Structure 1
Amino acid sequence: MSMLADNPLTALAVACGVALVVKSHCATRKDGPPLPPGPTPLPMVGNVRGIDTDAPWLTYKAWGDTYGDLVYSSLFRQHIIILNSEQDARTLLDQRSHIYSDRPELATNELFGVSWNSVFMRYGPKWRMHRRLFHQAFRPDASLLYRPMQLRKGHQLILDILETPTQFLHHLQHHSSSIIMSAAYGYETVSNDDPYVTIIEKALAILLEYLTPQASAVIGAFPFLLHLPPWFPGMSIKKHAAESKKCTKQWVESPFQYVEESIAAGTATPSMASNYLRKFQGLGGSGPTTTDIKEVSATAFAAGSETTKSTLSLFIIAMIRHPDVQKRAQFLIDSVVGTDRLPTFEDRPSLPYLDAIFREVLRWYPVFPLALPHATTQDDIYKGYHIPKGSMIIPNVWAMTRDEIRYPYASEFRPERFLDDNGELTDDTVSFAWGFGRRICVGRYLAEASIWSAMALILATFDLAKAKDSAGRDIEVELTSPPGVTISPRPFVCSITPRVPGMNSEKLATLISLSS
């Protein structure tokens, strides 16, 4: 496991030996309540030592086991408060949201060209405008309007998998992208290498790897590093930032231009962007600007595509590793739906075990294990500890999913933990996987429906199993993720076969038509 001190950018900042005196924060203060307990920082750089940069949530959980659920750390001049329990996160981020709804000032946002993104935007009037637009488009009742489209995309997904099962990961990515592109822009993606999707996914890949609090802290503490040439050791971040900036500009502009041209031609279909352009056109200062609509639409893609694709990949891994769970779910689908049609959203209330699987996938390996950091707008006191203004607040969702009191045998995949003695779903919806407070994911209802429908259709149509090597031995599925802010499984191989012998594209298309 790599350590933060081994990161080239951080090592460069430390090695520079600049005459910057950073106050060392300890667990006590001379005046007023103490800071929360935490690991002892180094004098200049703070808590650089010992952090697993590939999976910092593991380090933060270990700190929680040592110091308690509320942990203080620092990185250069940045106060960091880690919340390892859902109760603390609810109390602070939900109940005190007027203090905890800001985002940290991350130097990398401007560097990588994403300061327009609603997710990273500081709390204020512009963010509230964005939030209202998101809520109107993706609130629970509005999300129901997308269901016919989601089911249609789900049908295309299983057709694609049937035709080329070895390309299932590509099909999952295309499925996730096509849903949010349709919802945000009314745009129908092409099956392979769609130009709009390609440029957006290229930017996202860079952002998810480099847009970390650690990198931002280094740049914020040592801004002179940005004046060093890209070839200088540790400064490859500048090259990636320049590439990101170019991609994100196209990400914001190109799909939106498609919507504007479609409206002018009279061919635009209902979508977030087209609906808002028609609704607010000509209102001037009394409504959102075209720029607001453009930025919110672009943010929607980033928020929806990665979550859906990664969650479905984790679902497939879980089914391969736990064939008993897969068989039980398929038996229940057959009992409720039968074999002469495919599942629809109307079947969902009758399939609680499928929802239990969905919740367990969210809990087992949360896609955003540290959520996204919040920031405090004023000083606060909690449990007798001082939380300074401007602190970065990190909800360690991973630690919450590994709470052995709430989730016994937490490292194991057990969907039944979400069912009561009568086989009905419990009240635990794993809502912390979607964030907290005013920053909770507004598109979660759309994402939930996309994931559930894909899961149901895949289970109804296919058997998922381990692939075989040339000697006929099982190929184990390893769950590993590239470094970054998300858990997104690296490519893996598996066996995907139709449950019905002789199933082909024509027969599946007929089954789809009977289900519509």
Structure 2
Amino acid sequence: MIEALTMKAGYTAVIAAIGVLAVLYRKFSSAGRNAIPLPPGPPARWFWSNALPAVNIAHALTDVVREYGPVVSFRQGSQVIVVIGSVEAAMSIMEKEGGSLADRPRSIAGGEMLSRGMRILLARSGDRFRRMRKAIHTNLQPKATEAYQDMQRENARNFILDILNDAKNHQNHAKRYAASVILRVTYGKSAPTANTDPEVIHIRKVIDHFQVVMRPGAYLVDRVPLLRYLPGYGKQLTEWHHVELKLYRQQLGRVKSEDQNKAGPSITKTLLEHTEDHQLSPDEMSYLAGSLFGAGVDTTAVGITAAIMAAACHPLAQAKVHEELDMVIGPDRAPIFGDSSSLPQLHAFLLEAFRWRPVIRIGFPHRATKDIIWQGYRIPEGATVYGCHWAISRDPIVFPDPEIFNPQRWLDEEGHVKDNMKFIAYGFGRRVCPGMHLANQSMFINLALLFWSFRIAQRPDAPINVHAFSDAVISHAEPFEIDVIPRIEVAKLREMMTTNDCVG
């Protein structure tokens, strides 16, 4: 009996010793990590203050990067926010450490109260995110998106006709193109015009709501979570949630009720046909399709508009694309997708347009799931990390004279697009935009047809303000006018854009 008690006491002592050693190990190893400093940055703020700039965010963050260095830390109470503002740091941290930055920070206003955890853009890492990502991957991988090329080219030709008929409203025409393509891809439906289709009008309201919610620091509840339980606090967010969920449910229900033998291919149709594989609830499918629709409508239209602005303001760069199109295509046929590899000047122009005026200027937030060490600095576990597209696109080491629009920076000495310069427009790591291949196809065919058809110029009586963009997560250009000078005889151009001559 005494021997048993002695052995039990010995085991207890050993277990206690192991526990003490474990605590000490965690303490000292943590102390060691904490000894590695955070990246430099502005003074810390109280938790109820907004650590990031309140206005003109992208430009303000770029100024902070220039002052403190390519990786900057902001402290807001106990929360650390890290902003990355150079190409080298983005590749080393956002790409190489992508597995440690695949999570999103908790978003109470946007992720929980507005989206109820079902918006893939804001979804935390875990089972639901993996199921959603897997469910759409089949539809949006490069080989799958080739099936949409005929439809994209058809709508791009309609875009050319819209410009020919009414160049003043070119921004609305870009929105119509984007809406038609994304409606077809997402729901198997086309929109005749961006201004009259009920779904497009409704989705734009949803996008506007999302823009408000996603602005850093827009809602105090993200810093003081208890506010969500205050009676009446989240009334507006709740109303907005019901508005978008109703829209997304209606679209899912419409596709579900169609004769599936007659319905065209779409992401929603595929989701409904494989519910047992991806294990998504009806509302999760509704949100997955709906949020992809919303993202695609906005970003594609903004990208096309940025390229039009660049062409009007930089005629010499545009002329190089014209020269290439004349040599490769000629006047007797319009560009097709098969011409893509023969048009490096066009691709360089597109890359430079995205760099010159990024569609999403500050990027979307990531969350570090472990400590990341970079050049003697520590990005701590739990930190919110932004790869600021505007600051990265202004990196003077990779992009000398960054404010100069120069597509040639993307080409090597032999005139090929460089393979060692990273295209960051679609985000980073495992959170890269799933629709990037579809979006690239839209940008290519629209610019190819646009520059083949027209020379775009500024109006002498209406100079373009290239800095007039909305201060939002997805930054829209303020309305501007252009002159379009047809490069093909107008009657011939109209006929070629109307006739279904050949596929891409």
User: C-alpha separation between the residues in 2 aligned to 1:357 and 1:270?
Assistant: 32
Residue 41 of structure 1 corresponds to which residue in structure 2?
Answer: 44
Amino acid at match of 2:176: H
Match for residue 250 of structure 1 among 246, 259, 262:
246
Query: How far did residue 208 of structure 1 move?
Result: 1.5
1:378 is matched by which residue type in structure 2?
A: K
Q: Are the structure 2 counterparts of residues 98 and 416 from structure 1 closer, same or farther at C-alpha, using a change threshold of 3 Å?
A: closer
Q: 2:483 and 2:307 mapped to 1: Cα distance?
A: 14
Per the alignment, residue 453 of structure 1 pairs with: 445
Work out whether 1:198 is the aligned partner of 2:212.
Answer: no
Question: How much has 1:287 moved relative to structure 2?
Answer: 4.0
Matched residue type, 2:482: C
Match of 2:319 among 311, 322, 327: 327
Post-superposition offset of 1:139: 0.9
Say which of 460, 464, 479 aligns to 1:491.
479
Greater mean deviation of Cα atoms: 247-256 or 38-47: 38-47
Larger of the two Rg values belongs to structure: 2
Q: SS of the counterpart of 2:424?
A: helix
SS at match of 2:223: helix
* Residue type at the aligned position of 1:115: G
User: What's the CA shift string for 1:377-428, capped at 9, x where partnerless?
Assistant: 2344443333333211111121211111111111111001111122111114
Give the aligned residue type for 1:92.
I
Name the CA distance, whole Å, in 1 between partners of 2:317 and 2:488. 19
Shift of 1:291: 3.8
Q: Which residue of 2 aligns with 1:357?
A: 349
Aligned residues: 472
Match in the other structure for 1:24:
none
State yes or no: 1:513 paired with 2:501.
Answer: yes
Equivalent residue of 1:432, what SS? coil
Alpha carbons of 1:31 and 1:286: their partners in 2 closer, same or farther (altered >3 Å)? closer
From 207, 212, 235, the counterpart of 2:210 = 207
Matching residue of 2:23 = none
Pairwise CA distance, 1:286: 7.0
Structure 2 counterpart of 1:103 = 104
1:178 maps to: 180
Task: Flag structure 2 segments of 5+ consecutive residues without an equivalent.
Answer: 1-30
Please give the TM-score of this superposition, normalised by the length of structure 1: 0.84
* Alignment CA distance shift 1:429-1:277 (3 Å): farther
Please give the secondary structure, in 2, of the residue aligned with 1:214. coil
SS at match of 1:213: coil
Superposition CA RMSD, Å = 2.6
- Would the alpha carbon gap of residues 144 and 506 (structure 1) be closer, same or farther in structure 2, given more than 3 Å must change? closer
Question: Which of 393, 405, 418 in structure 2 is aligned with 1:413?
Answer: 405
For the 8 Å contact 1:341–1:511, the answer to whether it is kept is no
Distance in 2 separating the partners of 1:75 and 1:301: 34
The residue aligned with 1:367 is 359
**Structure 2: distance between partners of 1:514 and 1:318:** 29
1:401 is the counterpart of 2:388 = no
Partner of 1:4: none
Q: Deviations over 1:355-381 (max 9, x none)?
A: 000110111111112221100223444
Residue 64 of structure 2 is matched in structure 1 by: 63
Amino acid in the other structure paired with 2:157:
H
- Structure 1 residues 475 and 150: CA distance shift in structure 2, 3 A: same
- Secondary structure of 2:169 counterpart: helix
Whether the aligned pair in 2 keeps the contact of 1:134 and 1:443 (CA below 8 Å) is no
Structure 2 residue 265 is matched with structure 1 residue 270: yes
Moved runs in structure 1, 4+ residues, more than 6 A?
Answer: none
| CA distance in 1 between partners of 2:88 and 2:168 (Å) | 43
Aligned-residue identity in percent: 27
Against the structure 1 CA distance between its residues 176 and 384, is the aligned structure 2 distance closer, same or farther, given a 3 Å change threshold?
Answer: same
Report if the CA contact (8 A) 2:99-2:429 is conserved. no
